[in-house]
Amino acid sequence: MYQQMNALPENDLEAGCGRDAGFMRREASFRLPATASSVPVARRFIRTVALSWGLDGEMRDNAELVVSELTGNAVRHGRCDLDVTLALGSGGRLQVTVTDSGGDPPDSETPMDDDEGGRGLYIVHALAEQVLITRDLRRHQVCVSF
């Protein structure tokens, strides 16, 4: 279901979705349909890969929570398949990237106390060192670095 590549060339890790010199990386990625059942699949994927890479509990748990939030948003707002990528730099920096087909941009208003949703990106920002959101006519991408 996913492709995994190990030890990509130096200078190829996109820290915060931008180049960061001196890194080697491991990367795993896969494509999912934009359906609610994809959210737990994405969480299991992240957990399985993170465990195989020996990531500590906190980083693994944060990556799993972030991919859950981002995948849930992509399912709700995207129009077709979504891509999930996990990348690890030799310096221990971790990236989670979710790319979907676009749709409506996320609501930037602060949710009210009694709102049932709208807190996902706040959670992502609280856990991450850096979050980069890019959007064009064909896709929407959120890249989170820890």
Assign 3-state DSSP to the chain and report helix, strand, coil percentages, each to 5. Answer: 30, 30, 40
List, for residues 84-120, the tens digit of each pLDDT value: 999 998 788 899 999 998 765 555 555 555 545 556 7
Domain coordinates in residue numbering, the chain: 2-145
Nearest alpha-carbon partner for 18 in 142, 132, 124, 99: 132
Higher per-residue confidence, 112 vs 48: 48
**Residue 22: its pLDDT value, please?**
45
Higher per-residue confidence, 61 vs 101: 61
When the candidates are 1.10.1660.10, 3.30.565.10, 3.90.960.10, 3.40.50.300, the CATH number that belongs to 2-145 is: 3.30.565.10
**Residue 70: its pLDDT value, please?**
94
DSSP notation for 85-139: EEEEETTS-EEEEEEE---SPPP-SPPPTT-SS--HHHHHHHH-SEEEEEE-SS-
**Residue 138: its pLDDT value, please?**
82
Q: How many helices (H) and strands (E) does the chain have?
A: 3, 8
